[in-house]
A and B are shown apart, each in its own frame.
Chain A
Amino acid sequence: MMDRIRQAFGPEVPGLLGFLLLVVAVFGVTAPNFLTAANLGSIAYQLPELGILTLAMLIPIISGGFNLAIIYTANMAGLTLAFVLMQFGGVDAGAGAFLLGTVLALAVGALSGAAMGAVIAYIGAHPILVSLAMMIFLRGLGEFLTKGGDISGFPQYVAVLGHGSLLGIPVPLVLFGLCALAWHVLLTRTRHGFAARMIGSNLRATTYSGVHTKRTLVLIYTLSGVMCAVAGILMLSRFNSVRVGHGEALLLVTVLACFLGGVDPFGGFGRVVPVVIALVVLQVLSSGLNLLGANQHLSTAVWGLFLVGVMILRWGAGRWKERQRGRS
């Protein structure tokens, strides 16, 4: 059973699940309101934002790169949708306007990603530098377009996306589930996902094997940009406003979630399922600490400790396994 889970979802999964159970058990006992529907519901509404942004970060990292521009790409896409809604009457904008805005928002995300991917693939520039340039460009552009303020006043139905529920399941969670499933399939069952892992380990050897690595790289960053746009639309709905700086603090948390989920910081290895579990652990930790009355900054500090703890545990597990192998 464990072996089959390991094979299908990655060797990290059983350990992370164990950790999740432990965290839930501790908070279940110590924080009286932890296991209530209200609290679990609030976790379910908060998780998808960070989750979708983490998915956007995940595939560039697996391909050996990075995308520092995820937050501003998301907000730029959100701004696009907001602009369209404003053009069509703000609060009174119809469903057609929302649809058009969504398509354009996704296109803006894709464009931002494709531009980065093209520079990375064809110029060979380092992804950190390229996405840093894109991040600064988008932030400046966004501040310019919004004059540093925020845009709000959207139609009522937009809130459904961020606050509604479908058959009792929060809509954002449904959205996140669909995105995660798409990414899981992309990485495990498609040629580009396969090539992304290979590129992450050795770009030149992958090219030598006859893989169109440049096209795959452009696609990876384009998809990352599209995922950012989805997050941007969700953020618009949740905050009922768009501002260039929304969610700035999440940038490095997405990296944290990837590494907790066993993604290799040097590229080549990473799976969706363990990253999702890592996200849940992070959210549960912060919500539990919050219930215990801890300061929000303290829960951020605990996240950091958590990553160090997981690294030490992994190191220990690796050594233990080696010793077992030596014995057998």
Chain B
Amino acid sequence: MTDEPRAIRFSNMSKVFGGVKALQDVAFDVGQGEVHCLAGENGCGKSTLIKIITGVYQPEAGAGMELFGERLAAITPNVARQKGIAVIWQDLALFPEMTVAENIAFETMLGNRPRLVDYGALRARAEAALARLEVSLDLDARLGTLPIAARQVVAIARALVSDARLIFMDEPTASLTQAETDALLAVVRTLSARGVAVVFVSHRLAEVLEISSRVTVLRDGRLVGVYPTEGMTQARLTELMTGKTFDSHVMARDTSADPVVLEVEGLSRRGEFSDVSFVLRRGEVLGLTGLIGAGRTELAHVLFGMAAPERGTVRLEGREVRFASNREAVAAGVAYVSEDRLALGLIQPQSISDNAVLSVLRRITGASGLMSPRRQEDLVAHWVRELAVKIGRPGDAVSTLSGGNQQRVVLAKWLATEPKVLILDCPTVGVDVGARAGIFRIVRELAAQGLAILLISDEVSEVHVNADRVLHMAGGRIAGEYDPRRTSLADLEAAVYA
């Protein structure tokens, strides 16, 4: 082919942290202007690899490091930046209080000597960067007022201002709608055409797979392989990432004869959803899917008593209920696993044990009115065993657990309340592919025991495989009901993403 040097070429990369081999003999290379996927589960070494390439970590001796054809003995963060390596982390690291222009071009304001900000030049640079991406944004808008997708574009533009020639993007599509993802992919194509390489770091690859040319897969700190994306499927990739095979056949059963637990009729709340009606039966997994903004979470909040409906009724086991607070909902037997595990699902700095019992404090309180540490221990031990949560000690902070294990703690917290209805709002966000299967195994078991489960997810394939029936929500209304045994995944996806 051509003599053009590779953008990055690393070989024999190893990194040991306190005896743990985070990375072993990994090779990684990306061509100039290439769109590349770096795939692997959490803890597989993706972050370590990026941090070595960007000079944050130094690899163990013996690694070969080459940036744009130049062999380097050591890389510092400064060197990496000068060579044009940029990373856009998932949190974007932007300034929400500053304008778009300031966010894009703020580095030009930095210098050794204090001087006045040249706003004209700053705007010009920001405008030029956005023009290279072929997008237009209001330069004077405060960043905090923009949707996530636009902020991502701002982060990319900022990388371009500092002459980035290779951009790592960490989980860029995790919180985007389909349309926003498409727009992002268009930007990436533009970048690629201009010779800027992009490396997607993700474990949610369906969308990015199609525009990447190759994918590098890591597992447990080792290189599994580098594959062309041509002909690669999501299922095959999952196998490579986890080293296991998953059957993804439809699990739906006919539950139409089972007694109704939850009955929702004509439920409306202005600006959120309207005229929502459905029934949820004992032992049923009812999928609820739709794009972000379809009103799914808002509906869940009303069912959980966090907000009051304006019209419509909710019946629980035949009795009409109007919850004044989520405490009443919990007492009546409704449990809600929030989509936002970090901020709402768990109290991250507090212990696993305290998180697990938070919803049932009364139950571990003795006749004296004092909480019993022994009852707490027993309860926690019971659920850790029951849900096979992998923990160190119950007293460890819950933030030390992996996403999948954190989600099991959330489930334990709610199952301890002995609910009749369990609402799962995007239960696999931030959970590894391998651990997802474990979560859904638990969900199916709970349903088999008679729990009525409302499974909300924006991943159509997830509800298609795991739900007995699927409701499609769009624009605040129930747009359709599907039986996964009669509707193919492709048809369902077509309906949802239409």
Contact = CB atoms under 8 A, between A and B. Distances in A.
B346 A205 contact: yes
**Can you list the 6 inter-chain pairs with the closest CB atoms, starting with the nearest?**
A326-B18, A210-B330, A189-B370, A209-B358, A191-B361, A202-B347
Nearest to B376: A194
Q: Chain B interface residue count: which class? A: 20 to 34
Given A207-B326, A210-B417, A326-B18, A189 B371 contact: yes
Nearest to B371: A189
Q: Which of A194, A207, A211, A268 has the most CB of B within 10 A?
A: A194
Interface in B301-345: 306, 325-327, 329-330, 336, 338, 343-345
Which DSSP category, helix, strand, loop or mixed, fits chain B's interface? mixed
A195 B360 CA distance: 12
Interface string B18-43: 11000000000000000000000000
Interface in A177-224: 185, 189-191, 194-195, 197-198, 201-202, 204-212
Contacts of A268: 347, 349-350
A4 interface: no
Interface in B334-392: 336, 338, 343-350, 354, 358-359, 361-362, 365, 369-371, 373
A197 B351 CA distance: 11
A220 to B, nearest CB: 15
Nearest to B345: A205
Nearest to A267: B349
A23 to B, nearest CB: 31
B338 A208 contact: yes
A209 B361 CA distance: 10
Interface in A270-328: 325-328
B354 A198 contact: yes
B327 A210 contact: yes
Given A190-B371, A195-B361, A210 B345 contact: no
Contacts of B417: 210
Nearest to A324: B18
Contacts of B373: 189
Nearest to A189: B370
Interface in B436-484: none
A5 to B, nearest CB: 15
Contacts of B18: 325-328
Contacts of A327: 18-19
Nearest to A198: B347
Q: Which of B306, B327, B347 has the most CB of A within 10 A?
A: B347
B336 to A, nearest CB: 7
Contact of A202 (B306, B343, B369): B343
A268 to B, nearest CB: 6
B348 A204 contact: no
Nearest to A266: B349
Given A197-B350, A201-B350, A209 B370 contact: no
A328 B19 CA distance: 8
A34 B373 CA distance: 42
A212 B327 contact: yes
B413 interface: yes
Contacts of B359: 209-211
B19 A209 contact: no
Contacts of A204: 343-344
A1 B347 CA distance: 30
A326 B362 CA distance: 40
Interface in B128-154: none
B343 A190 contact: no
Contacts of A207: 326
Nearest to A214: B325
